[in-house]
Amino acid sequence: MGTRELAELARGEPRRLYLVHGEDTFLVERVLAVLRGRFAAAEDWRVVWGDDDEARVGEALAALASRSLFGGSTTVVVRRAEAMRAAVERAVEAVVTDDRYEGRLVLVGGTIDRRKRWYATVRPRAAEVLCGPITEVRELRAWIERLAAERAVRLTNDAALALSERCGSDLALLDGELEKLALATEARPVDRAAVERLVTHTRTHAIEELTDRLARGDAAGARRVLCGLLAADEPPLRIVAFLAGNLRRALHVAEEHERGASPDAISARLGMPEWLVRRQLGRGSAAHLERALAVLGELDLALKSSRPEAAVFEAAFAGLVASAR
C-alpha cells in the first residue's frame, strides 16, 4: 500500500465490498480511516469484531439487507476478520454470495489465511487492499514525505534519509518521531543534524528489520540497516547475538507450525503474543532457519578472530540470503 494507492482509495469509485488486511497495522488503520472519512458521515457506520458473539455479528450483517432508520444505507465493518468464527464466516459468505445487500461491507484483518473458503468467496468481488511492510526505498521516501507534510515538518533530503536510517520502514514509529520533530523545531526546516539530535536510534526495531530483510533474501536492504547500526556504534557481536535470538524464536514457531499447530496454540505453548507468532511465521521454514543459525555461528567466530568486519558480514549475508532462497 503506497501513498498513491491511498489517495486513489480516497477519491476513487466507491465499492460495496472492501477487504483490508496485512501485517502493517499502521497502514490498516490508515486505510480504515480513509473509508470512515468517505462513508461514515452519510451512512450508518457499524463496527463489530470477527470473534464477537455470533448473534451480534449476525445482527449487523442482517442490517445490510435494509436501509437504515435515517434513510441511508449501512456500512458494516468486521474487524479481526482473520479470527472470525465458523458461523460468522458462513454468514459473511452468504451475504457476499447473495449480492443483494443494500449497504457496504468492510472486512478488516491482520494476516489472513488465504486458504479459507470465505476468503475465496470474498476476494473476486472485493476491492482488496494489502497492507504489507514497506520494502521499496522510493515508497518509504514517499511515506516519509506524506507524514512530514501532515505534521507541517519541512525535511531536507539528508534529514529524510537520516530518519529512514534511524526508524527503518516502521511507519508508526516514523509518524511518532515526526510528531516529536514538529514540536521541537516549531516549523523550522529540519536537517540531518536535527534528526540525529532528536530521534533516538531504535536498535530493537533495526534488528527486527534486519532479520525480516534477511529472511526475505533482501541483501541490499539488510546492508543499509546494518550500516545504520554500525554507524550508531552498535557492537557487531551484539548485532549477531540479537539476530540469533530472533532466528531462534522464529525456529521454535516454525517447528510448532510445521507440526500442525495453529498460531493461537503456538502462542499458548510458547508463551508468546499471537501477533509476534504471526510475525515469526514469515521468516521461513525450520530447515531454512537452522541453516541461517549455522551461518550466524560462523559469523560470530569470524568476528572474534579479528577479521575485517565488512568482509565478514558480506560473506555471512550472502550465506543467509542463499539459505532464504
pLDDT-wise least confident of 78-82, 163-167, 195-199, 208-212 = 163-167
The beta-carbon contacts of 214-218 under 8 Å, at least 24 apart in sequence, are 214/243, 214/292, 214/317, 214/320, 214/321, 214/324, 215/250, 215/282, 215/283, 215/284, 215/324, 216/135, 216/324, 217/321, 217/324, 217/325, 218/135, 218/321
CATH class of 137-200: mainly alpha
**% of the chain beyond a pLDDT of 70:** 95
pLDDT for the residue 132? 84
The answer to whether 287 touches 257, Cβ cutoff 8 Å, is no
CATH class for the domain made up of 204-324 = mainly alpha
Q: How confident is the model at residue 203 (pLDDT cuts 50, 70, 90)?
A: low
Q: How far is CA 243 from the centre of its chain?
A: 20
Cα-based angle 2, 205, 29 (whole degrees, multiple of 5): 40
- Looking at the chain, the number of H-run helices and the number of E-run strands are 16, 5
CATH of 3-130, one of 3.40.50.1110, 3.40.190.80, 3.40.50.300, 3.40.50.620: 3.40.50.300
Q: What is the pLDDT of residues 98-149, one digit of tens each?
A: 888 888 999 999 888 899 999 999 999 999 999 987 878 788 899 999 999 9
Query: pLDDT digits over 38-91, tens only?
Result: 988 877 899 999 988 889 999 999 888 765 444 568 899 999 999 999 999 999
pTM confidence score = 0.63
- The span from the CA of 146 to the CA of 141, in Å, is 9
- The whole-chain average pLDDT of the chain stands at 85
Alpha-carbon span 294 to 263, nearest angstrom: 26
Domain ranges of the chain: 3-130, 137-200, 204-324
Alpha-carbon distances, residue 147 vs 3, 32, 153, 162, 177 (angstroms): 10, 17, 9, 15, 10
- How buried is residue 207: exposed, middle or buried, by Cβ count under 10 Å (0-12/13-18/19+)? buried
